[in-house]
Amino acid sequence: MPDTIATFTIALAQGNFRVGSLRANTERIAAYHRAATRIHADLVVFPEMALSGYPPQDLLFDRDFLDSHDERLAQCAQLTRDGCAMLLGAVRREGERLHNSAFLYAGGEMIGTQDKRALPNHGVFDEKRYFQAGTASHVLRLGEIKLGVLICEDIWSPLAAGELAAAGAEVLICLNASPFESGKQNEREETCKARVRECGLPLLYLNLVAVEDDLIFDGGSFVIGADGQLAARLAALREDVQAIRLVRDQGRWVVPQSVPAPPLPEDQLTYQALVLALREFASRNGYVGAVLGMSGGIDSALCAAIAADAFGPGRVEALFLPSPITSGESREDAFACAGRLGIACEEIPIEAGMRAFAAMAGPITDAILQENQTRLRASLLLARARKTARLLINTGNKSEMAAGYTTIYGDLCGDYSPLKDVYKTRVYRLAAWRNGAGAPIPQRIFDKPPSAELAPGQRDEDQLPPYPVLDAILELLLEQGLAASQIVARGYERPLVDEVQGKLDAAQRKRHQAPPGPKITRKALAKERRYPISNGWRVERAEGADPASSE
């Protein structure tokens, strides 16, 4: 018997759906649905938790929020009375239990649902706090096509996809809210290719585009044909919609090859992710631009470039806040960088404030005098940011945050920290990439030794290992989770590893007070390293305690 239909078109709606914005998300869903209907799509697909935004966190304990969510969900269902069918990620309530689910609607009616089965409870995820895991995979039939629906984590093991294939699914669709990490896109695509090889079914992978505090959702949705080859890829880091036309061929659904959007080079992708993160965080929280301190160093130069690209130069203001210790080179470099970026930069010396503080405080140590320079600068930056209703950018990087090379209520302050998860060595790489477009950062900023300039002749390496060494050890400790003995076995000296481990542990109290910033590595220092501040193991480890004998 010939197939009853020859083609089936699925529109992938890679949209920006924001946490808690139920009304705006519903309007965006409706707009995408209208667009899909206009191009004669049979089905429009939305990302995981598109209606509520992801992750909604403890909004899910707010009954008013859930009631409003359900009302909006009913409105979304009604959209399909006069248009194409819809597969929508949303919350499903079952008495007092909640599920992270996908809803299939057509003709104004619900055709079926699929609950997420694998609930991640690691890193930035804590879904078991909120959701009940699904217990079965259901094939959802829409006309003559049989759909197998997976939700994000479900794709990372063969179980759910295999069950759907065995139950008769003809096409797999995976709804995602997958956060950005360097190198993650290739991992996603290779994982999905593995599922396709196992099941022999085409797979459509749809990801969210959004920024939620420290998480960037980078889009990059794609389609893998039943032959295991990449058939389509949507753009990264921006909203996009693409119609995927499936063709019935000898009883199987085939995805004709298209021209996938090319993957961005990793440094370009990361830089653009940081720009998106800063712009979205500011927009979501009511800021109209940014203020930052320009020191003449690489961190503030890169942050200034990110801010100029995020808001436009006219909405960014820089302050150069020299002390008597600040070099003339730093002044020249700060103003040169600001000028090349087209942002305003004002000089306000802090010497008078330093003298006034010393007179009030009486005899104090050199360390306190150094710290107070950063606190005076922070006060001036905060005052300017509040006066102009602009976001205050913290210019610290991951290496400094990890090692505690920062001052509480000083250079740790700010509303948002774009480089919070960027190692110092990577700061240089990203700055070099950005300099390929107009060279806004003077070469001398790259060449001079990093220094906080809080004391005469001071260099960062007076208190820290060289950054390439520090970053390499931190990456082994954090991203790879290696023990000190394993790092030593890789050729690093034990005293150096212990020094870095000790700095990492001791700085936990500072990081608890750090501003938010975008996650770009496998293990950021906020939600993914939740060590207690008051921590006896830190002391025992420093004293050489044997982990096996600890209580």
CA nearest to 49, candidates 10, 102, 115: 102
Strand order of the β-sheet with 344-347 is 344-347, 316-320, 290-293, 391-392
Catalytic residue selected from 48, 153, 181, 212: 48
Q: Which of 152, 174, 337, 345 does the annotation list as catalytic?
A: 152
Q: Does an H or E element contain 230, and which?
A: strand 230-233
Whole-Å CA distances, 468 to 425, 465, 530: 6, 8, 25
Amino acid identity of residue 428, one-letter, is: Y
Sign of CA dihedral 173, 174, 176, 181: negative
Identify the burial level of 536 via C-beta atoms within 10 angstroms of its C-beta, where 0-12 means exposed, 13-18 middle and 19 or more buried: exposed
Distance CA 326, CA 312 (A): 29
Active site residue 398: no
Residue pair 213/519 in contact (Cβ under 8 Å)? The answer is: no
Beta sheet of 139-142, edge-to-edge order: 139-142, 145-151, 171-176, 203-207, 222-224, 230-233
Place of tokens 């300039």: 453
Q: Is 152 among the catalytic positions?
A: yes
Burial profile 432-445: b = 16 or more Cβ within 10 angstroms, e = fewer? ebbbeeeebbbeeb
Q: Distance (Å, rounded) from C-alpha 529 to C-alpha 507?
A: 12
Say if CB 169 and CB 139 are below 8 A apart: yes
How do strand 290-293 and strand 85-94 relate by DSSP bridges? unpaired
Is 303 catalytic? The answer is: no
Give CA–CA dist 125/547, Å, rounded. 28
Axis crossing angle, helix 22-38 with helix 63-79, rounded to the nearest 10:
10
Structure tokens at 368: 């306190």
Paired strand residues for 91 = 100
Query: Quick one: tokens of 150?
Result: 């997976």
**Strand bridging mode 171-176 / 203-207:** parallel
DSSP annotation of 523 reads: S
Q: How many Å separate Cα 483 from the centre of its chain? A: 27
Give the DSSP letter of residue 46.
Answer: -
Q: Which DSSP letter does residue 420 get?
A: T
Choose, from 84, 116, 317, 519, the residue flagged as catalytic.
Answer: 116
For the chain, the 3-state helix, strand and coil shares in percent, each to the nearest 5, are 40, 20, 40
* Catalytic annotation, residues: 48, 116, 152
